[in-house]
Structure formats: structure tokens, C-alpha cells
Chains A and B, each alone.
Chain A
Amino acid sequence: MMATVTKIAYKKRRLVFIAVLTCLVGAVFLTALDARPQQRSNSTPASEVADRAEQSFIRSVLYVMWERRTALTRQVVEHIRLALFAMALAVAVGVTTGVLLTRFRKLSTSVLGAASVIQTIPSLALLALMIPLLGIGLIPAVAALFLYALLPIMRNTYTAIDEVDPAIIEVGRGMGMTEWQILSRVQMPLCVPLVMAGIRTSTVICVGIATLCTFIGAGGLGTMIMEGMQTRGSALIFAGVVPAILLALALDGLMALAQKVLTPQGLKVPKVR
């Protein structure tokens, strides 16, 4: 049972990846088609930049990135900060709530349902909603990202604990473990793989949506992408998009590593028969 759920979570994560990569390839295609007419009407500073690096598109992107390295570095830092703050909060709240929900089952449907509803709000709309509530800047952005990251973590924690073999729990209880010992020594170690899968999904979501946080004044790589969009400077767009994708990949890789390290050895060994 648990394996199937992990597989589903894994598939979903892979789906996000494939989606991101498809977008990237598609964008390259479109901008390549778009690149020539833009070079002719070089009226904006961004296309001037593109003009100067006439040779190839990739070089022009790299050139923009180099030229704007200070801004880019700042935006990368802002981006990471947004994602990490939100993730730290989401992990703390999500895992705790997930565990608590297994103790108060009656609440689980409504709480998980509420989290799912939040998930369906378009990200731009959610960010906009934060303005009347929390104003602009880092705090409302982190709050919005946190809300998005919450569901995968909470749901996976709940499912993972819920699906630990009842025989194992019963033996633990029968041998004289307290409820806390059952949770900390048996259920928690066993649900690491699935919880980590949830955290990975959330991380990718967070890094992705963080590009929109520029709209409510929280900075991040979205700032550069926005600037590129406004000036029709595809090199500038890519100077923001590529680091955002690399960031998502890097953080996901980091989480994958954490998942591997944290998963108890006994769950990783090959089974006999």
C-alpha cells in the first residue's frame, strides 16, 4: 500500500519535472522564432543587449546574466529565501498537522479538504489575496507559498502514518510501548520515505510559484522574467527562467539526497523472495 502511494507521489513529482522541461523546450522554440524580428526593431535596452551578442541566443542569455550579475545574485538569494522560509514553515506545520490528524481522524477530511481547496486557488490570485491581508513584501509571499506547500506534506504524512501495518503497531503496543514511543520509534521512521516525497513535491512547487512573488513586491527571479516580458527581451526572460529551473532541480536533488539519507536502512535493503 505504502509503496503505491510513494509511487504516485513520485510520478506526480516526475510529472512536474516533465512539465517544467517541456515549458523550457517550448519556450526556447518560441523565442527562437521570435528572435529575428526582435533584432530588427532594436529600440529597447534589452534588444540592444541581444544585438550586441549577435552570434547566438545562448551567448546573449549568458551575456545578460553576466551584465546583470549583481541583480541576478540578489534575486537568486531572494528566491531561495522565499522558497526556504515557506518550506521550513510548511514542513514544521505540515508534518505536525499530519501526525495530529492521525490522532483526531474526524478532523482529517475537513482539514485535508481545506488544504486541497487552497491548492486549487490560482497562484496569482492567492498572491493577490495576500495583499489586503498581509500587505506586500516577503511576509505575504512566504505565507502564500507556505499555503501551497502545505498540502503535499500534510497529506503524505497523514497517509504514511495511517498506512503503517496495523500488526506492527499492535505488536508495539502489546510489548509495552507508550503511544509516544510507537509514534517516535515505529511510525515516524517508517513514514520517512513518503513524507520526504511530499517535501520534494512541495519544494518544486514552491520554487516554481516563487517566480510570481515579484508581483507582490517580494523579489526573486520573477523580477528579471517580468522585466524581460515587459521589454520583450527574450534573453532577459531566459536569464531569469534558467536559474529558476536550475534552482528547482538543485533543491529537488538536495531533497532526494536527504530522502536517501533519512530513510531507515531496513527499508532500503533488497527483499528476499
Chain B
Amino acid sequence: MIALQELCKTYPNGIQAVRDLSMEVAEGETVVLLGTSGSGKTTTMKMINRLIEPTSGKILIDGEDIGRKSAIELRRKIGYAIQHIGLFPHMTVGDNIAVVPRLLKWPTDEIDQRVELLLKMVGLEPDEFRDRYPAQLSGGQRQRVGVARSLGADPPLVLMDEPFGALDPITREQLQDEFLELESEIQKTIVFVTHDIFEAVKMGDRVALLDAGRLQQLASPAELVESPANEFVDSFLGQHRFQLSLLTRTVATIEGLSKPRAAEAPKKKPRSYLRCRSSLVEALDMFKTTKTDSLAVYDKQQYVGHLEKSHLLNIITQALEETGQQQ
């Protein structure tokens, strides 16, 4: 859907923010641009909606060079959410969400419906929140409105610049979880900028690690953690590698799930079960809350086997030893 081609950006003061960056983002995918400050991640993102113009190289969206289109038209088709949220303080929550639909001159009743739907989507009761002003909201509520606003005109592509950055850790985690849930329903293409590697592996289908304007590695979270492409990636993961591997390894990668005989396979999906794409951390959590020794694993609706608690603990111990040796 998006193709960045040999993108370079040199600022007038001579700083090379982005150097020769090429990558593609597929339809419906969430790609996280990860890096420290000054790595060029935000610059890269802002070039996608032309808030910053590249020095050389080009960006194609659906095969069209965005440099040839009107920046205004382009931006109205791309959702945008930032860390500072930037809600318009003089507009109600409803008016904030309706900004882009109004710019696009949607009919009023359609806008009203859209606002209501979006407020429900981000977990805010429309009748309670529609006519409030940003000053009357808590930080978490403002951030939700910010997210809802970025989805205002139902854009296929959404850019998010550390959208949960300004929140306390608990609220942030809650919003991340909610957003993942929401994202699985609405299936948008998302370019997500963060400096937090845990957020990156949590939110991203793929993670693009940038340093000094260069793309260091573009891979799935698991791949990034398991096989760092170079020394920089390796050092970036640093001492978090063990935790990260638990987060990024999915149940699907575990070999030797116990398979009861066909007759013993549960006929109905049990109340608590593991999904193939559940991470090891989620599996641990599940064992903790259910207090069982074995859990059924499903790949979508298909039963694939049972995971024993002792087996999971073995794998984790093994991983711990491996990372210990590497360091």
C-alpha cells in the first residue's frame, strides 16, 4: 500500500535525518517505526503525509507518487494522531472528531453517526462525552478522543506518532490493549512511531528499527528479537532480550504440544484456551488465572493440541539460560 523509495531528508542545518530509506507497508499491516530520538522515525512518518518534504526519493501510496498530489487532499485521507494529542480546546469532543469529515463536507447526519460510532469504538459513552470540552477530560480520555479523531473520516491509512506516549504506564497499557482490539476489527494500515521497544513488539506486525536515519532492520517482532540483523539491533535490544523473547515468541513456535487422542480432543471450545498467536507471557498469565496444568491451543477455530504448564516453564528456563550465555 505504501512504498518508500530511497527516501532522504537533509534539513537546512545539514542534519541528515533520513538516509536512503526504502521499505513497503502492506495493506492492513501495522508497521512500527522504532528508534531513539534523532533516529529519523518521526521525520519518516511526517514525509508520508507531507508535513515534511523529502530531499530526494519518493513515496507511493497505492502506486501513486504522493509528491504529485495536493498535500491537503492527501492529508484528509490519512488519519493522524500525535503524542501531544492536540485536541482543539475550543471545540467539543464531537466537533474535534468531526473535523476531517467536515473538511470533506460530509452530510451532517452522516457526521453525527460517525462521531457516535467512533466514541463507542474508543469506549466513551457518546451521550456523556460528545458535548464535553477537552479541558473536562482526563489524560486517558483525551488520548481516546485523539485516536477517534484520527479515524474520523474512516481513512484507510493512519499515522500515529507515539499516541500513548504522554500517559501513565497503567493507562498506556490499557489503551494499547484496547487499540489492538479495535485495530483487529477495523483493519487499517497503520504507521506507528515509538521509542519504546516493548510498545513496538506489542503493537507492530512488523518493526522497522531506525538509527541515525538508516533502516537497521525491518522484521516481525519475533524475528527482530530472535535474530538481530546487526550489532546495533543487538545492542538496542540490550538487557531486555529475555523479556522481549517471552513477549514475541508465540505459542505456535512451541514444539511438542501434547496431543491427546482424537477422541479426547475437546468437542467444544473451552472457556479459557490459548491461541496460536498468544505470546508466552500471555500463556503464563493464563495458567496463573485458570490455575490448571494444561490448556487447549487453538489456531482460530481449529484445535491443535494441549500445552502443559511444566512444558512451558521448561521452555522459559531454557530461554533464560540461552540469553544468559549470550551476554
Return chain B residues, CB-CB under 8 Å to A175: 75-76, 80, 99-100, 103, 149, 152
Q: Is B84 an interface residue (CB 8 A)?
A: yes
Number of interface residues of A (CB under 8 A): 25
Q: Given B49, B90, B103, B135, which contacts A271 in the complex, CB threshold below 8 Å?
A: B135
- Could you give, for residues 106-142 of chain B, a 1 whenever the CB lies within 8 Å of some chain A CB and a 0 otherwise? 0000000000000000000000000001111111000
Could you tell me if A168 and B86 are in contact, using CB atoms closer than 8 angstroms? yes
Q: Counting chain B CB atoms within 10 Å of each CB, which of A175, A177, A189, A273 scores highest?
A: A175
Question: A266-B134, A269-B135 in contact; A177/B84 too (CB < 8 A)?
Answer: no
Q: For the complex, what is the distance from the CA of A186 to the CA of B86, rounded to whole Å?
A: 11
Return chain B residues, CB-CB under 8 Å to A177: 72, 99, 103
Q: Is A163 an interface residue (CB 8 A)?
A: no
Return chain B residues, CB-CB under 8 Å to A270: 135-136
Could you tell me if A176 and B73 are in contact, using CB atoms closer than 8 angstroms? yes
Q: Given B85, B138, B139, which contacts A167 in the complex, CB threshold below 8 Å?
A: B85
Q: For the complex, what is the distance from the CA of A133 to the CA of B216, rounded to whole Å?
A: 71
Q: Min CB distance, A188 to chain B, in Å?
A: 10
Please classify the interface of chain A as helix (H, G, I), strand (E, B), loop, or mixed, using the class held by over half of its residues.
Answer: helix
Could you tell me if A266 and B90 are in contact, using CB atoms closer than 8 angstroms? yes
Q: Min CB distance, B171 to chain A, in Å?
A: 13
- The A-B contact count (CB < 8 A) is 83
Q: Is A45 an interface residue (CB 8 A)?
A: no
Q: For window 71-101 of chain B, which residues contact chain A by CB distance below 8 Å?
A: 72-77, 80, 82, 84-92, 99-100
Could you tell me if A190 and B103 are in contact, using CB atoms closer than 8 angstroms? no
Q: Min CB distance, B64 to chain A, in Å?
A: 17
Q: For window 164-193 of chain A, which residues contact chain B by CB distance below 8 Å?
A: 165, 167-168, 170-178, 181, 186, 189-190
Q: Min CB distance, A187 to chain B, in Å?
A: 10
Could you tell me if A265 and B133 are in contact, using CB atoms closer than 8 angstroms? yes
Could you tell me if B99 and A170 are in contact, using CB atoms closer than 8 angstroms? no
Q: For the complex, what is the distance from the CA of A190 to the CA of B91, rounded to whole Å?
A: 10
Q: For the complex, what is the distance from the CA of A189 to the CA of B74, rounded to whole Å?
A: 26
Question: A174-B75, A178-B72 in contact; A167/B92 too (CB < 8 A)?
Answer: no
Question: Mind listing 8 A-B residue pairs with CB under 8 Å?
Answer: A165-B86, A175-B80, A176-B73, A176-B100, A177-B99, A186-B90, A269-B135, A272-B138
Chain A contact residues, CB within 8 Å of chain B: 165, 167-168, 170-178, 181, 186, 189-190, 264-267, 269-273
